[in-house]
Structure 1
């Protein structure tokens, strides 16, 4: 069984996020990253009161076009837009890039700007490349009222593409992401994604014979969420009722030691929220300690992918920074697991909800929902 599991992992890994193939097939090397930098100048320049960053992002002839609530056409020049930004005046705006499409020296982009408890804006941009750089020449937008619900779940994912410094592909487990996401969304929860570096994450272990996985694989809107995960600095932990660490081999790298993600998880825990994880995702919680230096899961029953299902003699395993089970135990947790793979083994101990392997994903998600509902 474990050989089948890891064969599937190697065959599935690593689906990279190039679904908008034009951006990678036609764009010159570095163009997409330069556009990201330009859009980041726009997002952070507006949010943090930095007019100079807006001047860097906008072409001198930039114009904004939008339809007002009264149904009239609004036209604003870049100069007027920048003049309305007061230096140092920070606004509670959380921006993330949803898509970038590049063809030669022209590009279009879509950005979401969330203003909590007010509105969610969708910005549409046209950009041109000239003199070696990308500039925004046009912006339009639409908006909707922001949900007043505080019931949000934060997914923790990894940017790691390989097992350690090897050339062996590593990835985030697609099933453990989409099955949980689907259950959370259908229950009315809002889901956000964060990774140590932000941006695109690799995914693998994809099973297109599963209809839910297949539907999300070809859902451009969902895949754009995985192409544009938040950076930890963009996340306010007070917005979330639960944190969910998905697995896959990539989860062993870059997450557990990330202090910014640790702070987010600890704040959610301190607020009475849920700490949940599936499979190798449990690796992400091993360094979570309270102000006294004790593990927050001390004396709690915790599960995750056990060594008995690993090929400990294989090259991939030799790159792991630690054994999940041994590290949980070393840090004071009570690591438990089933002796059977794929039997939906999961554990609930207070606000800690963990699953052993992919088969437990749905159960973990449902237990998270039940726990959140009890908070009301």
Structure 2
């Protein structure tokens, strides 16, 4: 019977090792890799973080929504810089969260901070509908991703109008991962599609196939290319561990869930060189 006891002890130790060390191993591989955003003082400036309202992953009817770190990382990057941050979604109300993104081993430090932040959670549960947003109230409009965004960001005429007006006022437009779908239907100052001829990024088709979510209706790489964008990305041994950020004028976009830190950093950096608008 002793060998059974030793086996059980060994399995417990192995399970504990996996629990404590797997998040660190994933970070080393590239998931939410450590990134230090320099300090900025942008007190008095304002940011709006927009998420999906879609909660079901058709046709299998699984839960979906916004990916945690894709809004929590920029949210706290802006908060840490002294900015006021509001949250909105396509329909308003509670923003659905993509399962697993706020759980072990994927949840990052900003996810945990957000879940423990009563004020932030109140904004999440009572997000403003995009129809009630005045872009002139903000310095930056940032669109987060998550698989739910494939169902409503590019399809929303109201979001397209909001982004078009924000661009017309010279606001910074940011996105990460599927959030880039919020750019594809907006118009530029010339009346043509906003992203036409401009350098942008979003989640790769390769990553979408890696996760087995090709059933979603809109894919950022495909939609950006169709809209005439100069699509950029980086690849890794698996694209979920890659990252890339592009800057083209007031468009600052990140490739995937790993790109929120640098994308937020570059947004803050650009804001710091601008006067109040």
The residue aligned with 2:50 is 156
Structure that is richer in strand per residue: 1
Q: Is the Cα–Cα contact under 8 Å of residues 252 and 284 in structure 1 kept in the other structure?
A: no
Contact 1:195 1:232 survives alignment (8 Å): yes
* Separation in structure 1 between the aligned mates of residue 189 and residue 74 of structure 2, nearest angstrom: 31
The yes-or-no answer on 1:169 pairing with 2:169 is: no
334 and 222 in structure 1: CA distance in 2 versus 1, 3 angstrom threshold: same
Change beyond 3 A, Cα 1:291–1:354: closer
Deviation, 1:253, is 1.3
Tell whether 2:124 aligns with 1:226.
Answer: yes
CA shift in 2, pair 1:211/1:313, >3 Å? closer
Q: Partners in 2 of 1:313 and 1:171 — Cα distance?
A: 15
Partner residue of 1:300 out of 183, 194, 198: 198
User: What are the ranges of 5 or more consecutive residues in structure 2 without an aligned counterpart?
Assistant: 1-25, 27-42
Contact map agreement 2:130 2:159 (CA 8 A) in 1: yes
**Structure 1 residues 198, 165: closer, same or farther in 2, change over 3 A?**
farther
Shift of 1:323: 2.6
Higher Rg of the two aligned structures:
1
The alpha-carbon deviation at position 249 of structure 1 amounts to 0.4
Mapped pair 1:338 → 2:237? no
Q: Aligned partners of 1:223, 1:183: CA distance in 2, in Å?
A: 16
Change (3 A) 1:207 1:313: closer
Q: Aligned residue for 2:75?
A: 181
> Is contact 2:233-2:255 (8 Å) kept?
yes
Which residues in structure 2 correspond to 1:242-261 (within 5 Å)?
Answer: 242-261=140-159
State which of 280, 295, 317 in structure 1 corresponds to 2:214.
317
Residue 87 of structure 2, aligned match among 187, 193, 206: 193
Equivalent residues in 2 for 1:245-284 (5 A)? 245-284=143-182
Higher relative contact order, structure no. (Cα contacts within 8 Å, ≥ 6 residues apart):
2
CA distance in 1, matches of 2:108, 2:218: 32
CA contact (8 A) 1:207 1:214 kept: no
CA RMSD, aligned part only?
2.2
- 1 or 2, which has the higher helix percentage? 2
Does the C-alpha gap of structure 1 residues 311 and 344 become closer, same or farther in structure 2, counting only changes over 3 Å? Answer: closer
Normalized against structure 2, the TM-score is what?
0.76
Structure 1 gaps of 5+ residues are 1-7, 9-147
TM-score (norm 1): 0.57
* Cα distance change, pair 355–313 in 1 and its aligned pair in 2 (3 A): closer
Please state how far the C-alpha of 1:282 moved relative to its aligned partner. 1.0
For the 8 Å contact 2:144–2:177, the answer to whether it is kept is yes
CA distance in structure 2 between the aligned counterparts of 1:313 and 1:152, rounded to whole angstroms:
34
- One of 252, 269, 272 as aligned partner of 1:353: 252
How many residue pairs get aligned? The number is: 228
- Per-residue deviation, 1:213: 1.8
Q: Work out the CA distance in 1 between the residues paired with 2:166 and 2:211.
A: 37
Structure 2 equivalent of residue 127 of structure 1: none
